[in-house]
């Protein structure tokens, strides 16, 4: 059994209005990651990701790039403890 990882990430830059959340969902689903991507009022995108550690790390790497129209300036992550993993990957 592979190790699981559960993280929350905050993505800064030009990440709203550039298809960032839907692209994140597509990548997450391809990697079999559960969670969500949602816009925050301050212009950032928050991503919750739960899955195999290797897959979550691949998603984190992708978050630094995002879709073609995005300009990512910073990604902060933290480990999440004690939360129930979500059932799928949602765009909020």
Nearest alpha-carbon partner for 32 in 57, 9, 51: 51
Of 30, 39, 44, 57, which is the active-site residue? 39
* CA 67 from centre of chain: 13
22 in catalytic set: no
Q: Are 51 and 5 in contact (CB under 8 A)?
A: yes
Q: Catalytic: 39?
A: yes
Task: Tell me which of 21, 25, 30, 57 is the catalytic residue.
Answer: 21
Determine the Cα–Cα distance for residues 36 and 60; give it in Å rounded to an integer.
13
What residues are labeled active site?
21, 39
């Amino acid at each position: 059994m592979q190790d699981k990882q559960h993280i929350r990430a905050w993505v800064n830059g030009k990440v709203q209005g550039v298809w960032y959340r839907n692209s994140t969902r597509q990548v997450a689903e391809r990697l079999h990651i559960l969670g969500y991507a949602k816009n925050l009022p301050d212009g950032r995108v928050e991503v919750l990701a739960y899955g195999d550690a290797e897959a979550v790390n691949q998603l984190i790497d992708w978050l630094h790039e995002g879709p073609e129209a995005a300009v990512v300036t910073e990604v902060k992550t933290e480990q999440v403890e004690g939360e129930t993993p979500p059932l799928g990957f949602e765009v909020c």
